[in-house]
């Protein structure tokens, strides 16, 4: 049985209640973490086939935030694996949404962390920390800005405008 973090908020009910106040992510992410429902204020990273910033940010206090990583949709290298995800748990992150792949799926599924990603690839990424942190990122027609709330469950992802 999968678990949720915090108060379980059903995205369908939330959308019915708030409608166009929320952006709906149409991209079909896989649920890969131990929690399939999670929510929190957004933090962001834009990077390409380099997870140095992902590691750095998830090794800092998360305070229940959700990290949105725009990897440009590239499936060439994983942007998070078991060690970085374990650090996210230890540092109090609620979840991670990655527009790219992860690795170590079997371990990720056991962690008390929400993880949505495009898929998996065992190939490591670069570790040069090239990219940007806490800037607006956009994919799937949705703009993710640092600060607003993100809500995720098995039905999908909603983001405050």
Question: Is residue 115 a known part of a binding site?
Answer: no
What domains are defined for the chain? 23-156 (3.50.30.40)
- Where does the chain show beta strands of DSSP type E? 3-4, 22-25, 30-31, 35-46, 66-70, 95-102, 114-120, 132-133, 137-139, 142-144, 149-153, 156-160
Residue 83 in marked binding region = yes
How do beta strands 35-46 and 66-70 pair? Answer: parallel
To the question of whether residue 114 is assigned a binding role by annotation, the answer is: no
155 is in an annotated binding site: no
pTM flag (> 0.85): yes
Find out whether 103 is annotated in a ligand binding site: yes
29-70 pLDDT, tens digit per residue, is: 999 999 999 999 999 999 999 999 999 999 999 999 999 999
- Beta strands 35-46 and 132-133: pairing type? antiparallel
Rounded to a whole number of angstroms, the distance between the first and last alpha carbons of the chain is 32
pLDDT digits (tens, 9 = 90+) for 110-123: 999 999 999 999 99
**Is 81 marked as a binding-site residue?**
yes
């Amino acid at each position: 049985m999968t678990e949720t973090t915090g108060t379980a908020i059903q995205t369908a009910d939330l959308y019915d209640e708030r409608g166009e106040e929320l952006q709906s992510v149409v991209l079909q992410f896989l649920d890969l973490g131990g929690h399939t429902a999670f929510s929190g204020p957004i933090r962001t990273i834009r990077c390409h086939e380099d997870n140095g910033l992902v590691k750095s940010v998830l090794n800092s206090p998360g305070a229940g935030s959700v990290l949105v990583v725009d990897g440009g949709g590239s499936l060439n290298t994983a942007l998070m694996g078991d060690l970085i995800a374990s650090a996210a748990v230890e540092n109090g992150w609620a979840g991670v949404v990655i527009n790219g792949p992860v690795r170590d799926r079997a371990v990720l599924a056991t962690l008390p962390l929400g993880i949505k990603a495009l898929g998996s690839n065992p190939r490591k990424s670069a570790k040069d920390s090239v990219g940007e942190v806490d800037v607006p990122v956009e994919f799937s027609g949705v703009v993710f800005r640092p600060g607003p709330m993100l809500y995720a469950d098995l039905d999908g992802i909603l983001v405050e405008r």
